[in-house]
Amino acid sequence: MDFLIDYILIPMVKIGVVFGVISLVVAYLTLLERKVIAFIQVRLGPMRVGPHGLLQPIADGLKLMLKEDIVPAGADRLIFTMAPIMTLIPAFIVFAVIPFGPDFELFGRQVGFFITDLNIGVLYVLAISSIGILGVILGGWASNSKYPLLGALRSAAQMVSYEVALGFSIIGVLLLAGTLSLVEIVEAQRDAGVWYVFLQPVGFVLFFICGVAETNRAPFDLPEAESELVAGFHTEYSGFRFSLFFLAEYASMIVISSMAVTLFWGGWLRPFPGIGALGFLDYIPPFVWFALKVLVFLYLYLWFRASWPRYRYDQLMSLGWRILMPIAIANVIVTAALALALRR
């Protein structure tokens, strides 16, 4: 009975809640992007559908679902359908390991505020996000057209290159925390009394830059920009399949933001967890802190998109390999040296 509840019922409920909440956030992130970018551009954004455009994601979703289903001639139907699913699912299942808050009591049981606590959490996240790249390549291949294929290959090459630097930038945090589990990394930050961003500022900046490049967002969004010759891997996609790609992009934005918050900005911890004098901040529940921090990072994504031009492809790749990678490696070496020196 205990086994049934602990291992089947409670996880199912958690999965349902997380999936529902993340889907809602992804849908309203599309609206938030349009509104934020509109305000930066001194205009108003969607205003007609619902009050101040609040029903816009529903209208968009309905429209995309009801559109005509077009599959290009000669395209591999099965892979054409599977590719967006292969991009979307990894973006969602990463949320299985992210802690949204501390453990809490529920009907006498100790329940963790996460779906599962893998002891290789960070490795799991990196591995699963790499599967998403496969979906991009297959999407381009299955379209049976020159330009989506070239766009998909460029997009995939970009994602893979920045994944390397991303991995290196996380190593500093792992050295400080001593564990790969995300739950324990947050607890290590609580025990250290300070968020890791203050100990690893270079690592954080690198992580975020690589994260933005990983999700193909501005200023690294040349493969899918409209003014480019090749409209990217999702040229031939329309209707529901396009909406899946679209949602996958926003879901991976939330993934990178959540990872940045968990690894560097203390997860669900309040600011300055070590200083007791700020105890009044404890009145705000921890998952609200988590949500606020993730929102800040999502806002940064939108802010970057609205403000900066985009890099050309060769400049993008050169930035990833020739500038960010050496800095990441140097960060690892310096962190390791300092950690060793200070431990003695």
Partner 1 sequence: MTETRGKSFDMSTDEQTLFDANEVTVSMGPQHPSTHGVLQVRLKLDGEKVMDAECVIGYLHRGVEKLGENQTYGQFVPTLDRMDYIAAVSNCLGYCEAIEKMLEVEAPPRAQYVRVILTELNRISSHLLWLGTHALDIGAMTVFLYCFREREEILKIFENYCGARLTTHVFRIGGLQYELYDGFEDEVRAFVKGFPEKVDEYETLLTENRIWLGRTRDVGVLNKQDAIDMGVTGPCLRASGVEWDIRKSNPYAAYAEFDFDVPTGEHGDTYDRYLVRIEEMRQSNRIVSQAVEKIPGGPIRAKVGKIIKPPVGDVYHSIEAPKGELGYYVVSDGSTQPYRVRVRPPSYVNLQALRQMVIGHMVADVVAVIGTLDIVLGEIDR
Partner 2 sequence: MKVVRPEAMSILKKIFLVDLIKGLLLTFSYQRPSANYTEQYPKVRPKVSERFRGAPRLNNDPVTGETLCIACNLCALACPEYCIEVGWERTEEGKKALTTFTFDLSRCMFCGLCEDACPTPCLELTQDFELALYGRKDMKWDRQKLEEGNQPIVYTR
* Contacting residues toward partner 2, per CB under 8 A: 36, 39-44, 47, 303-304, 306-308
Contact 339, 196 (CB under 8 A): no
**Cα–Cα–Cα angle for 247, 149, 245, rounded to 5 degrees:** 5
We find the least distance from the C-beta atom of residue 313 to partner 1, in angstroms, to be 7
Q: Binding partner of residue 281 among partner 1, partner 2, none, CB under 5 to 8 Å per kind? A: none
Q: Considering the complex, state which of residue 13 and residue 323 has its C-beta at the smaller distance from partner 2.
A: 323
Partner whose footprint covers residue 47, from partner 2, partner 1, none (CB < 5 to 8 Å by kind): partner 2
Contact 275, 198 (CB under 8 A): no
Smallest distance from partner 2 to CB 305, Å: 10
Tell me which of partner 2, partner 1, none is bound by residue 206, counting a contact when its beta carbon lies within the kind-specific cut-off of 5 to 8 angstroms: none
| Cα–Cα distance, 15 to 225 (Å, whole number) | 34
CB 140 within 8 A of CB 236: no
CA dihedral 164, 167, 169, 174 (to 10 degrees): -160
Q: How far is the CB of 222 from partner 1 (least distance, A)?
A: 6
Residue written as tokens 């699912």?
Answer: 89
Q: Which is nearer to partner 2, 48 or 63 (CB)?
A: 48
Look at residue 39 and give the partner it binds from partner 1, partner 2, none, a contact being a CB closer than 5 to 8 Å depending on partner kind: partner 2
Q: C-beta of 197: minimal distance to partner 1 in Å?
A: 24
Closer Cβ to partner 1, 23 or 307, answer by number: 307
Closest approach of partner 1 to the CB of residue 228, in Å: 6
Per-residue 3-state assignment (H helix, E strand, C coil) for 94-154: HHHCCCCCCCEEECCEEECCCCCCCCCHHHHHHHHHHHHHHHHHHHHHHCCCHHHHHHHHH
Nearer residue to partner 1 within complex by CB, 179 or 318 = 318
Judged by the rule CB under 8 A, the positions of this chain that interact with partner 1 are 37, 40-43, 146, 149, 218-219, 221-222, 225-229, 305-315
In angstroms, the CA 278 to CA 235 distance is 52
The answer to whether the beta carbons of residues 30 and 249 sit under 8 Å apart is no
Q: How far apart are CA 98 and CA 119, in angstroms?
A: 12
312 binds, among partner 1, partner 2, none (CB under 5 to 8 A by kind): partner 1
Distance in Å, CB of 67 to partner 2, minimum: 27
Minimum distance from CB of 266 to partner 2 (Å)? 24
Q: How far is the CB of 176 from partner 2 (least distance, A)?
A: 23
The site partner of 222 among partner 1, partner 2, none (C-beta below 5 to 8 Å per kind) is: partner 1
Least Å from the CB of residue 334 to partner 2: 15
d(CA 189, CA 196): 7
* CB of 287 or CB of 304, closer to partner 2: 304
Please give the Cα distance from 280 to 174 (Å, whole number).
30
Looking at the Cβ atoms of 242 and 313, the one nearer to partner 1 is 313
- Residues 196 and 93: their CA atoms lie apart, in Å, by 25
Q: Which does 91 bind (CB under 5 to 8 A by kind): partner 2, partner 1, none?
A: none
Closest of 325, 319, 312, 265 to residue 293, by C-alpha: 265
Q: How far is CA 177 from CA 9, 100, 102, 183, 260, in A?
A: 32, 18, 17, 11, 15
Binds 304, which of partner 1, partner 2, none (CB < 5 to 8 A, cut-off by type)? partner 2
Closer to partner 1 at the Cβ: 150 or 194? 150
Q: Which does 44 bind (CB under 5 to 8 A by kind): partner 1, partner 2, none?
A: partner 2
| Residue among 306 and 339 whose Cβ is closer to partner 1 | 306
